[in-house]
Amino acid sequence: MFVDEAEIDIGAGNGGDGAMSLRHEKYVPRGGPDGGNGGRGGDVVAVADANLRTLIDCTYRTRYRAKDGGRGGPNRRQGKDGADEIIRLPLGTLIRDSADRSLLADLTYDGRQVVLARGGRGGRGNASFATPTRRTPRFAEKGEPAQRRHLLLELKLLADVGVIGLPNVGKSSLIARVSAARPKIADYPFTTLVPNLGLVRIEEGTSFVIADLPGLVEGAHQGKGRGHDFLRHAERTRLFIHMLDVAAPERKALDDFAALNRELALYREELAERRQLVALNKMDLLPPPETLDRIEASLREQGYEVFRISALSGAGVARIMGRAAQVLTEESEPRAERIPAESEPVEKPKRPLRVERLDSGRYAVTGDDVERAVVMTDLANEDAVRYLHRRLARIGVIRRLRDLGATDGDKVTIGAIELDFID
């Protein structure tokens, strides 16, 4: 089954909690703190896999979770890092954030890796908080909560040559003739409901990937005939083979050619400007030679290379495939929408510190750094709360609240946590 769209929920692993431990050994009366740090949570990583052709795996499994980091231990033992969650996706997959549909990654080559969600940092054990003036800290940090995301996956096939044409002109027959693909072939429109990929071998060391793009009719740019579903696959092809049914009346063949090019332009102007080879198909039905001459002359006047073929018998097919291979050596790769660096983490911009007054006695504090500090604090531990208060004072939160009129006992919301203000 060919599936080219999917939605998934992903979640990286939470960081492990730091350990609160005091060293107890014989003959060591002042052992001091020895709690180790928690382990880092695992990442969620997308990997491009050339062996995959559809997103069907992501329709059966829609939730992906990496492993949490392990808790720190005594004797400064580091918690175990959580295992990463690997999502294998076909080449040509676009990954978008469902919140704003922004493009996060474009998997354009085999083995490409992109971190979609970062695992949480491990909390620091109490040994990390020891200083000359705070020799026995009796608190440790909690692990950092991990990122969660809802993603939209969209597959755009990566093919060198796209075979286009109105329904029933012989696209599937051509794919079956030149490759090992075996698409459904019948004498009625819309026989092919999904794109078919095939590998064409011209000679030793020369080959290319070919795909038929079904469902293109007049109005395809508006979604008619499943146009949107398949026009996006045309964006990644470097060359079009435009097939015409020359068994049809002369005027209809030329009108069909103009209509489909108009649909390409209305969907995306660059598609109509892409290189095209025109295949006059169904020569086995012996159309009138004078009709063929007029159709070919009209197309050549417009600057197109024209080939007379029969996908059924194979006549002329080798010639147009050979020419396609030559053109591919001349044409550059189509520009991808965005190609991030290898293993580039997909992260949103950090939110700066912001303090505001909501109403009398209520205040709100937002910002990635301050929210992370609060959520990683063990609020049930009095020593940890005192340390958090000093951190908030150092980064200016206490001063800003005081300037806004906050007094002892007022409610301050930081992220999803509500605290009492103490000056």
Q: Which of 321, 312, 324, 176 is nearest to 246 (CA)?
A: 312
Domain boundary pick from 298, 330, 362: 330
Q: CA 151 to CA 263: how far, in whole Å?
A: 30
Domain match, 187 and 277 both:
yes
Residue 60: which CATH number? 2.70.210.12
pLDDT at site 341:
42
pLDDT at site 318:
94
Length of the chain, in residues: 423
Number of domains present in the structure of the chain: 3
**How confident is the model over 273-320, as pLDDT tens digits?**
899 999 999 999 989 999 999 999 999 999 999 999 999 999 999 999
Residue 203: which CATH number? 3.40.50.300
Domain match, 230 and 316 both:
yes
Residue 139 placed within a domain: yes
Domain match, 276 and 374 both:
no
pLDDT at site 371:
94
Q: Mean pLDDT, 10 residues at a time, over the chain (423 residues)?
A: 83 97 80 93 94 87 96 95 96 90 88 93 96 91 95 88 88 88 54 72 82 66 51 83 90 90 86 92 92 94 96 94 91 49 58 91 93 94 94 93 92 93 87
Domain match, 206 and 295 both:
yes
Give the three-class secondary structure for 93.
strand
- State pTM to two decimals: 0.75
- What token pair was written down for 114? 């992109």
Residue 283 placed within a domain: yes
Question: What type of residue is 195?
Answer: P
Residue 326 placed within a domain: yes
Domain match, 359 and 299 both:
no
Domain match, 171 and 264 both:
yes
Domain match, 107 and 19 both:
yes
pLDDT at site 237:
87
Domain match, 320 and 386 both:
no
Residue 378: which CATH number? 3.30.300.350
| Dihedral sign computed on CA atoms, order 397, 403, 409, 410 | negative
Q: Which of 3, 29, 33, 1 is nearest to 19 (CA)?
A: 33
Q: Which domain holds residue 360?
A: 354-420
Q: CA 105 to CA 264: how far, in whole Å?
A: 25
